[in-house]
Amino acid sequence: MRSILLTSPMQFSPVELPSEPPASDTAVTVRVRAGGICGSDGPFVRGVPARFGGPSHPDGIAPSGSPMHEVVGEIEDPGTSTDFRKGDRVVGWATGFDGMSEVVATDPDSLAVYSETWSPTDAVLLQPLACVIHAVDRLGDVRGRRCTVLGLGPIGALFAHVLDSAGALVDGVDPVDRSDFAGPLGLRSVTRSHSAAWARHLAPEDQSEIVVETVGHQTATLNHAITAVAPQGTVLYFGVPDEDIYPIDMEKMVRKHLTLMTGGTLNRRRALTRADEYLRAHPDLARALITHVVPVSEATRAYAEATTPAPGRLKVVIDMAEWWDQPSTETGASSSAR
């Protein structure tokens, strides 16, 4: 079975594994057709010890196929699951974080059948969209409420769109010029600034009731959100923390009577189904956000692009089509930008 191995920081190489993972009482196997690069992958591809893989990887070295968890594919073996049949088109989580493999074993509750409307590379967007929809639901009724999204990468862009669709008044902040995406995402304004400078100079009357922090990979931006949110407001920290302990400005939290909200996606299949419904209602969203599709043979370049913010670049997707179309001994394909 073909797979991609992280051999050193920011360097991937193809490998051949001895066999495909078996389905089990608790897992189904999926033949992967496409995968999305998530912002949470960044630290691991740069060399941070893997925080996934469980006791089978005590050395912190990421297993083959890692760190990808956003996958689209077809059920290869449903095992004992009665929810899927062989050949079902599914999207969701590779719960072993090994999505850059021909076949993965994953939790069936982390998958859902997706609409035939979408190509595999477009359907990749359903997994992060499911996470964002779940998070926005937790904010309650946002109609007419002023919201600011810190970081307008792929996740921040999805937050902007979903919040706007829910009736919020949405602004965005990013050090990269994202003005080209303001209209399609429903943003009232885009401020090109580092979050520290933006928060420090923000007038009280310009503070938002809700600040969504989607930058991550540091502790500073969370405190910038705490500084910038209006009294009695809510800070939503979205993403996977890079450290176990995050120092926060508790003085501001207390004096401003703030709420800090975090958490992962619960009831994943329901969230994925809702994401499919949302994308069918907004069919142009995938085309706007998925800006680069790269073949799996160029995984190193794909991750380099995805982890280097730039104007005109949002979601980077890896296409496994060459694995489906060619025998294991053949390689090579060309990338496309959208």
Residue 252 belongs to a domain: yes
In this predicted structure, what is the pLDDT of residue 141? Answer: 98
Q: Which helix (H) or strand (E) holds 300?
A: helix 299-306
Residue 147 belongs to a domain: yes
Whether residue 11 is found in the same domain as residue 114? yes
C-alpha dihedral over 158, 159, 162, 166, to 10 degrees?
A: -170
Whether residue 67 is found in the same domain as residue 83? yes
Instruction: List strand residue ranges (DSSP E) for the chain, in order.
Output: 2-8, 11-16, 28-36, 70-77, 89-93, 103-106, 111-113, 146-150, 169-174, 189-192, 208-213, 229-237, 259-261, 290-295, 315-319, 336-337
In this predicted structure, what is the pLDDT of residue 327? Answer: 63
Whether residue 137 is found in the same domain as residue 121? no
The neighbour count for residue 231, using CB atoms within 10 Å, is: 12
Residue 271 belongs to a domain: no
Given a cut of 60, whether residue 326 has pLDDT beyond it is yes
Whether residue 219 is found in the same domain as residue 320? no
Given a cut of 90, whether residue 183 has pLDDT beyond it is yes
Helix, strand, coil percent content, the chain, rounded in steps of 5: 30, 25, 40
The neighbour count for residue 280, using CB atoms within 10 Å, is: 11
Closest CA to 88 of 78, 97, 80: 78
Whether residue 123 is found in the same domain as residue 97? yes
pLDDT (average), residues 197-222: 95
Residue 224 near residue 211 (C-beta atoms within 8 A): no
Residue 269 belongs to a domain: no
Q: What is the pLDDT of residues 213-259, one digit of tens each?
A: 999 888 999 999 999 999 999 999 998 888 889 999 999 999 999 99
**What is the total count of domains within the chain?**
2
The neighbour count for residue 137, using CB atoms within 10 Å, is: 13
Given a cut of 50, whether residue 44 has pLDDT beyond it is yes
Q: What is the pLDDT of residues 13-41, one digit of tens each?
A: 999 998 888 888 889 999 999 999 999 99
Whether residue 175 is found in the same domain as residue 218? yes
Residue 229 near residue 210 (C-beta atoms within 8 A): yes
The DSSP-derived string for 88-131 is -EEEEE-TTS--SBSEEEE-GGGEEE--TTS-HHHHTTHHHHHH
Cα gap 65→243, rounded to integer Å:
23
Residue 54 near residue 111 (C-beta atoms within 8 A): no
Residue 272 belongs to a domain: no
CA distances from 164 to 1, 173, 239, 324 (A): 43, 15, 20, 38
In this predicted structure, what is the pLDDT of residue 332? Answer: 37
Query: pTM (2 decimals)?
Result: 0.93
Closest CA to 337 of 301, 285, 290, 286: 290
pLDDT classification of 298: cutoffs 50, 70, 90? very high
- The b/e string for 193-215 (b: 16+ C-beta within 10 A; e otherwise) is eebeebbeebeeeebbbbbbbbb
pLDDT exceeding 70 applies to what percent of the chain?
93
Domain boundary residue among 246, 261, 276?
261
Q: What is the pLDDT of residues 89-131, one digit of tens each?
A: 999 999 999 999 999 999 999 999 999 999 999 999 999 999 9
Residue 128 near residue 158 (C-beta atoms within 8 A): yes
Residue 276 belongs to a domain: no
Domain membership of residue 236 as a residue range: 129-261
Whether residue 86 is found in the same domain as residue 135? no
Whether residue 33 is found in the same domain as residue 122? yes
In this predicted structure, what is the pLDDT of residue 331? Answer: 40
For the domain that residue 69 is a member of, what is the CATH number? Answer: 3.90.180.10
Q: In the structure encoding, which two tokens stand for residue 62, read together? A: 């990421």
Residue 279 belongs to a domain: no
For the domain that residue 236 is a member of, what is the CATH number? Answer: 3.40.50.720
Domain boundary residue among 226, 261, 296?
261
Q: What is the mean pLDDT of the chain?
A: 92
In this predicted structure, what is the pLDDT of residue 51? Answer: 66
* 50 DSSP assignment: P
In this predicted structure, what is the pLDDT of residue 330? Answer: 41
Residue 268 belongs to a domain: no
Residue 133 near residue 266 (C-beta atoms within 8 A): no
The neighbour count for residue 58, using CB atoms within 10 Å, is: 8
